[in-house]
Structure 1
């Protein structure tokens, strides 16, 4: 009689997907946790619950510089088309979705004056010049910031502008003899500009790439520094102090310490120290549990501010307390859906398709952003005229 082998149950499909997407093994999970901490700080700051949460942006900037240093400067040979496509598939789909949905949901009922500014801000965001728009229109820490659902995209514009700079540097690497000297010179010039902006009281420098380049390059130069060789106990102590500096800055920093300010140096250095100390028990205990949030941090960052702004418009009062908690809970759900159905599929698609298809897809993404930017610019113009 034929003996059949018992059929072993296949692993749960959803469990496999969750483990792959939210608990990846090929990444620094403590750095993902640091991203998670950064987005928590920013969201709580925007909710009005944490006065120093603006340093979350500083954390993101240093981490971004670190990963771009590896992607652009430490890979040989540098693959420029691959580098550009990866960035476009990583950033554009979720951004395009957020701006399209938010614009469709609110531009038709807001006041004409608000419609003009919101549409203009959205158009600038889609071409990654939102920081320039913001510097000419509104102070980040002023009350009228609550009127603009795309104001938070200024930091995404900074990031893309840094990508452009690091891209050019990577292309020039074969003819650059003193790479470290070049990066150190740009770092020093940016830090000096930041110090002068602080001295002059130029609050709008908060938005400029020139005042932020030193933060990006601090992360990039980690790859050029010798690895810290500390005993296990000392490494854990240093790691714990660095983490305490970040948390303490988020809890107690006043807005006057926001970049440009010499006080922005401390949380940035703390982030660099944490990155330079992998595999510590402190990181495993305190940051790794936040890594799933860090994985979806881009989507959370994209959607949390429009959610807060739209809630304030709809409810006709300053949202706070339990209502704010409800808004943030809803935003978290929307962010998770954005990651699962927009952000992650775009990256997976870029990984599995042929080079020609990948490049065409990247072109379509750019075309979609430019097309929507033109539509929003037209809406802004018409609203101002009438």
Structure 2
């Protein structure tokens, strides 16, 4: 009996990890694409991959794809369920990360740094971090290493896109021209992106309008028919698309970061991969990265604060083996963040009745507002003194 009782918890843990990290009811190649994207971003921030910023482009297209399904392909559209799902998906881990990092470092950094860090954290909690960043620091400039919440600009863009697609889901059923509307948004946004590139407006890197074409590209995958290709052609295109993304990460320079017409190549490659499910190339190239893709949100949240805090504590720019150790610690923290915070929030949202779910979402939003006000106050007081 003792052996049976001992085996039961182990079996439950195996079942839980199998369900989360090796699911059978979802596209593991897209999880692998997420894993590739977060790996590129982390390696870029570590200083090991000069074009790893394209990982953000990959994330944006994937986000557009899933939001297109959640908002535009659901009949009837359930506004509250859509909103709650997004809030439970994003807010708990973000709130936890900002609260812990703020509590851990704001009391010992210089007052000028404390004011900016607290300000950035407050803007991140209300999903306006991209607006804060565009007025304070260039993303690729040296002083970016001083801000542990600077990376939340992309999360703010994502939430702003959720707001746009929410309105589209409410209004587009009134129109018979959904494809035309989405295509128009994509073209207009891409034109704005190229205009910013021509004008040398590098701060458009943070601009939702310069990125909206990437979100729209992912969303339009649902609007257009899937290609019917032979197995050989599908595998060739799939492998070539993965090669384009990896090649961009290896050979792109900062000159090709969005806004730039060169961003179109990795984005189209992502769309091609999504439109070609169940290929042998996908199983070989991307599925092995799917466990990392499952925890990609937590990895993204924690990797940059880990690098920034390490640079503050060690008084030199972290690199080499020290950077590898920092990233190893970040990976462990991210795994716990996923299991204890992110997964817990989603499971709770799944099992409770709608009234309880809505109250919980309101509580999450209220908690973010309270912490944001505290950080705004810390920032103001630090600047006064």
> In the alignment, which residue of structure 2 is the partner of 1:157?
156
Say whether 1:249 aligns with 2:234: no
> In the alignment, which residue of structure 1 is the partner of 2:112?
113
Deviations 1:205-225, CA, capped at 9 Å, x for gaps = 000000000000000000111
**Matched residue pairs, number?**
380
Residue 23 of structure 1: how far off its partner (Å): 1.1
Deviations 1:82-119, CA, capped at 9 Å, x for gaps = 00000000000000000000000000000000000000
| Aligned partner of residue 139 in structure 1, secondary structure | coil
> In the alignment, which residue of structure 1 is the partner of 2:52?
53
Residue 179 of structure 1: how far off its partner (Å): 1.0
Residue 25 of structure 1: how far off its partner (Å): 1.3
> In the alignment, which residue of structure 1 is the partner of 2:368?
369
Deviations 1:49-77, CA, capped at 9 Å, x for gaps = 00000000000000000000000000100
TM-score normalized by the length of structure 1: 0.97
Residue 177 of structure 1: how far off its partner (Å): 2.3
> In the alignment, which residue of structure 2 is the partner of 1:353?
352
| Aligned counterparts of 2:116 and 2:34: Cα–Cα separation in 1 | 31
Residue 299 of structure 1: how far off its partner (Å): 0.1
Structure 1 segments unaligned to the other structure (5+ residues): 1-6
TM alignment of 1:189-208, pairs within 5 A: 189-208=188-207
Deviations 1:226-246, CA, capped at 9 Å, x for gaps = 111000011000111111000
TM alignment of 1:1-386, pairs within 5 A: 12-386=11-385
TM-score normalized by the length of structure 2: 0.98
| Aligned partner of residue 228 in structure 1, secondary structure | coil
| Aligned partner of residue 66 in structure 2, secondary structure | helix
Deviations 1:240-262, CA, capped at 9 Å, x for gaps = 11110000001110010000001
Structure 2 segments unaligned to the other structure (5+ residues): none
| Aligned counterparts of 2:148 and 2:175: Cα–Cα separation in 1 | 42
| Aligned counterparts of 1:383 and 1:114: Cα–Cα separation in 2 | 9
| Aligned counterparts of 1:32 and 1:115: Cα–Cα separation in 2 | 37
Deviations 1:279-305, CA, capped at 9 Å, x for gaps = 000100110010000000000000000
Deviations 1:276-333, CA, capped at 9 Å, x for gaps = 0000001001100100000000000000000000000000000000000000000000
